[in-house]
Amino acid sequence: MQDTALYVVATPIGNLQDMTPRAVDVLNQVAVIAAEDTRHSARLMAHFNIKTPLISVHEHNERQRVERILQYLSQGESVALISDAGTPVISDPGFVLVRAVREAGFRVVPVPGCVAFVTALCASGLPSDRFSFEGFPPAKSQARQQFYRERETLPHTLVFYESPHRILASLTDMAEVFGPQRRAAVARELTKTFETIHCAPLAELLDWMAADSNQQRGEFVLMVEGAVPKPADQLDDEALRVLDILLAELSVKQSSALAAQITGIKKKLLYQAALERS
């Protein structure tokens, strides 16, 4: 092992054969492994005969653990950071620790491997030239719908994580906000025995999942195709809403001019729409 460092080590998301030889070497050589759940990770360590001590670093104690890990590093001992599955920091604890270690002047070394959303996206059949990972949506329906509305016009593929007890509610909100015909994909139990990746319009996807309770179990990645850009001569709902508000108080000419300033849309297009709506 080279210089003292915090090694951010990816672990399998299901299939243990996805563990890389480099990850095993690093976990064997560091002084201590910072694990999200030591009991869960102990099984992985036993499988690969890794004897390195484990300490817990999770969302409730991460800030308190920073000083302890910095002490290891200051004494010239390297530390590995792992999560329960996949790559640490990606919708898992670790950001606070990684930033603190870097700010203290120590190296942070990535040891790449599995990431659930990348694994899902590459086999989904949805566009992957541009995408954004959005993490977990809010738990409550009203907040979740607002979360989706803020993203409904984005032109690239959207990727989310979701829990099994909210999967149907989340798909219902997606169909309402994005529209029932927007293509989407759900991936569950990736690399495991019951791996499923299913792509369909949101309404069909919701019906398919609601009809089979077995498909409502496991770890989920939800992916939604980006919005199709509207033609240049077509006004979106928000522009028409602004125009209607202004028309209630102002003339067609004034309304279209002010709406152009607010929305950035050409005045001529807004003026024609205002004539049709007045």
Distance CA 39, CA 43 (A): 7
How much of the chain, in percent, has pLDDT values that exceed 70?
98
One-letter amino acid at 24 equals V
Mean pLDDT of 35-60: 96
Beta pairing class for 220-224 and 183-188: antiparallel
Could you list the beta-strand ranges (E) of 96-151. Answer: 107-111, 131-133
pLDDT (tens digit per residue) in 143-164:
999 999 999 999 999 999 999 9
The predicted-structure confidence for 188-224, as pLDDT tens digits, reads as follows 999 999 999 999 999 999 999 999 999 999 999 999 9
Tell me the per-residue pLDDT of 77-126, one tens digit each, with 9 for 90 and over.
999 999 999 999 999 999 999 999 999 999 999 999 999 999 999 999 99
User: What's the pLDDT at 231?
Assistant: 62
| Residue 263: per-residue pLDDT | 85
CA distances 229 to 76, 173, 182, 226, 234, Å, are: 54, 22, 13, 9, 10
pTM: 0.80
